[in-house]
Every structure is written in C-alpha cells, then in structure tokens.
C-alpha cells in the first residue's frame, strides 16, 4: 500500500519550507507570498495531501475541533444556529462535534466530560443543567448561546428577547388587542420569570392592569401550545389574542384553536416568536418575531475563534442580536 503524502512531500514539490506549507494549510498566510501560496495549493492538489490533525494536535496541543451542545434538536430553531456555527468554523479550519442532550442531565454532563477528555479547543453551549463552576473547571474556551443569568463571566450571544416581547406586544396593542393571552413557556430546568417581567413591565408602561388569568406556563412545544390555548379559551372573559414564547407553541395553539372551532384570526389572533420555517407554511401563516438564528451561530463562532486564538482573556463579550416583526395572516385588527 502506498504511503500517504506528507507535509515534507508537499514542501519538496512546491519548493518551499515545511513552515510555509504549515502556514498555508492552517490559513495563516499573512507572512506568505502569493506565489508560494499558489505553489503549495497546487502541490497539495497534485499529491492529494490531507492534513494529519492527530500529529498536528500533538505538536500544537490543539485539536481544531469544537463542540456544539444544545438541549433539543427537534426544535427547528437550533439547526439554523448550528449552520451559522459550522460555516464560520469550516472557514477557519475547525470541525464541529454536535451534541444533542435531549434535556438530559446525564447526557449533558457526559458530553462535557467528552469535550474535556478529547481536548476540544472550544465549546458552544446552551446550558441546561451544568453550572458556571463546571464550565470553568473544563478550562475550555466557551461561548454561551443565549444570554443566561448566572453565566455573566462568559462570552454570550443571543437574541434580544426583551425587545422581541416588547415588539410583539406593541404590534398586538396597535391592532387594538387588550385581552392578550401569554404562553410564557417553562421547563423543569428553565424559569419563565424574565419573560413574565417583560410582560408586566409592558403593561405598566401602557398604564393598564394585567389580568393574571391570561398568563399560562406551559412547555416549550406544540403540546404546550395546545394545552395553553385550551386553558385560555375556557375563561369566561376570553382573550382576543395569544402570544406564545416560541413558534412551536404558537403552531400548537393554532392547530388546537381550529379543532375547538375557532377561526384564526377572525375569532382570535395568534402570534409566535422565532420565525422557524414552518411559520410561513401554516394556514393561516403565522405572524411572529424573527430571531436571527444563523447570525447568532455565526457571531458566537467568531467570538469563540477570537478567544481560542488569543493569549489574552479580555472582558466577556455579551451580544444581543435584534429581532424583527414578521406580519403574516394569523393576526388582524380587533374590530
């Protein structure tokens, strides 16, 4: 069996040093002339050279791999975030190891151990069970996906959820709705207190009382949306509009409202947050707040790359990416 071409073979064919080949392969070409770059690339193509990451990691103590850890791959929000991360990491020559914890504490901790044991260079995580102390203990460069209380010493990138809720409520108010149901969303692991505060603050800013019966904590999925709309529509004073914390809940509410015989938006307006792909395909199509999912992933990867390639820690970067209103057919003005 013929041996695989090495970096020495590439250097000989290109007529350059091993260091030059190494720089070109790593994408560190600031100190390499254009002619040398082209000769190295041609030699790589001619020989079919592939970088030996294991040997490279032994020399540099870097594996050129990062882990992306999320709670639930069935939520369509996350694949777009993952795509943004992967595209940015691909450009920089890094591989992304994907870890879906499926809301499991054991799986999350096992994946965190794996990231440490395999000496991954970076971690992008939406933490559910792991603590700040556990993440610090790994000594892995980390970016939190989302702006999470209790992790303020970490770099974080997420949507401006406060602004998203404010924009949604402002839009519904402008349509004339005052009796608005809220599917706040909760899980065994995450609190809905910040979203609740956003809602109460908005009503205070409008000088209006808030009916607590309209606030429903349900799970962050279609089943939660179905349960929430059922509860709201059993009230004597029924809401004229419903805002869900994400599109999955809103789509569940939309489906259940149809089953219950309500016409959307004539009998009740329904609105979500996220703008997942399915939001534009329902009948009626879903009015929502668009989160810039791809950009969140891309920016999180960029920050992680900066941190991994810098000798200085620097102050934590916390970025909230603005959201936009997307008006479709599931809402209309109150007559």
User: What is the pLDDT, as a whole number, of residue 87?
Assistant: 95
pLDDT tens, position by position, 28-64: 777 788 898 899 889 888 888 776 554 555 455 678 8
Closest to 317 in 3D by CA, of 333, 306, 331, 325: 306
Once rounded to an integer, what is the mean pLDDT over residues 181-203? 77
Residue 94 has pLDDT above 70, yes or no: yes
Find out whether 170 and 233 touch, Cβ atoms under 8 Å. no
Alpha-helical segments (H) within 186-314 = 193-205, 222-233, 247-259, 293-308
User: What is the pLDDT, as a whole number, of residue 203?
Assistant: 87
Both 179 and 263 in one domain: the answer is yes
User: What is the pLDDT, as a whole number, of residue 31?
Assistant: 78
Q: Tell me if 327 is assigned to some domain.
A: no
Both 279 and 170 in one domain: the answer is yes
Both 24 and 105 in one domain: the answer is no
Here the tokens at position 322 are: 């603005």
Residue carrying the six token digits 């839009």: 171
Residue 1 has pLDDT above 50, yes or no: no
Both 287 and 165 in one domain: the answer is yes
- Total-model pTM: 0.78
Residue 127 has pLDDT above 70, yes or no: yes
Q: Tell me if 234 is assigned to some domain.
A: yes
**Average pLDDT of the chain?**
89
Both 275 and 298 in one domain: the answer is no
Which domain, by its residues, includes 36? 7-51
Q: Tell me if 36 is assigned to some domain.
A: yes
- How far is the C-alpha of 185 from the C-alpha of 216, rounded, in Å? 8
Which residues make beta-bridge pairs with 97?
67
Here the tokens at position 59 are: 């020399």
Find out whether 218 and 228 touch, Cβ atoms under 8 Å. yes
Both 110 and 147 in one domain: the answer is yes
Can you state the angle between helices 7-14 and 34-47, rounded to 10 degrees?
120
User: What is the pLDDT, as a whole number, of residue 54?
Assistant: 47
Residue 187 has pLDDT above 70, yes or no: no
- How far is the C-alpha of 269 from the C-alpha of 252, rounded, in Å? 14
pLDDT tens, position by position, 309-332: 877 777 899 999 999 999 999 999
Can you state the angle between helices 34-47 and 18-26, rounded to 10 degrees?
90
Question: What letter does residue 5 receive in the DSSP assignment?
Answer: P
pLDDT tens, position by position, 231-274: 999 999 999 999 999 999 999 999 999 999 999 999 999 999 99
Confidence of residue 295 (pLDDT cuts 50, 70, 90): very high
Find out whether 218 and 229 touch, Cβ atoms under 8 Å. no
Contacts of 269 (CB under 8 A, 6+ apart): 172, 175, 177, 240, 241, 242, 287, 330, 331, 332
Q: Domain of 142: which CATH number?
A: 3.40.50.2300
Find out whether 88 and 301 touch, Cβ atoms under 8 Å. yes
The percentage of residues in the chain with a pLDDT greater than 90, rounded to a whole number, is 63
Residue 86 has pLDDT above 80, yes or no: yes
Contacts of 100 (CB under 8 A, 6+ apart): 70, 71, 72, 73
Total structural domains within the chain: 3
Both 132 and 211 in one domain: the answer is no
Q: Quick one: which H or E segment has residue 215?
A: strand 215-216
Both 129 and 227 in one domain: the answer is no
Residue 191 has pLDDT above 90, yes or no: no
Q: Pick the range with the lowest mean pLDDT from 17-21, 127-131, 163-167, 191-195.
A: 191-195
């Amino acid at each position: 069996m013929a041996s695989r071409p090495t970096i020495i073979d590439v250097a000989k064919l290109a007529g350059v040093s091993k260091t030059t080949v190494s720089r070109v392969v790593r994408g560190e070409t600031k100190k390499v002339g254009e002619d040398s770059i082209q000769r190295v690339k041609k030699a790589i193509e001619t020989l079919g050279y592939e970088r030996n990451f294991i040997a490279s990691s032994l020399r540099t103590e870097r594996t050129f791999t990062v882990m992306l850890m999320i709670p639930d791959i069935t939520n369509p929000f996350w694949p777009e975030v993952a795509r943004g991360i992967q595209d940015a990491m691909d450009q920089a020559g890094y591989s992304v190891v994907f870890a879906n914890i499926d809301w499991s504490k054991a799986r999350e901790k096992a994946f965190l151990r794996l990231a440490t044991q395999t000496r991954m260079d970076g971690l992008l995580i939406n933490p559910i069970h792991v603590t700040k102390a556990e993440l610090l203990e790994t000594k892995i460069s980390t970016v939190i996906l989302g702006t999470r209380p209790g992790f303020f010493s970490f770099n974080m990138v997420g949507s401006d959820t406060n602004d998203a809720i404010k924009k949604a409520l402002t839009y519904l108010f402008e349509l004339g709705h005052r009796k608005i149901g809220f599917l706040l969303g909760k899980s065994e692991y995450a609190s809905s207190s910040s979203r609740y505060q956003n809602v109460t603050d908005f009503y205070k800013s409008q000088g209006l009382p808030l009916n607590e019966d309209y606030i429903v904590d349900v799970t962050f999925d279609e089943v939660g949306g179905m349960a929430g709309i059922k509860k709201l529509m059993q009230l004597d004073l029924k809401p004229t509009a419903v805002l869900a914390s994400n599109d999955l809940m809103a789509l569940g509410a939309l489906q259940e409202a149809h089953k219950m015989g309500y016409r959307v938006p004539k009998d009740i307006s329904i609105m979500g947050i996220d703008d997942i792909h399915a939001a534009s395909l329902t009948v009626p199509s879903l009015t929502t707040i668009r989160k810039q999912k791809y950009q969140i992933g891309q920016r999180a990867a960029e920050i992680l790359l900066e941190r991994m390639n810098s000798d200085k820690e620097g102050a934590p970067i916390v970025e909230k990416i603005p959201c936009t209103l997307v008006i479709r057919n599931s809402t209309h003005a109150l007559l």
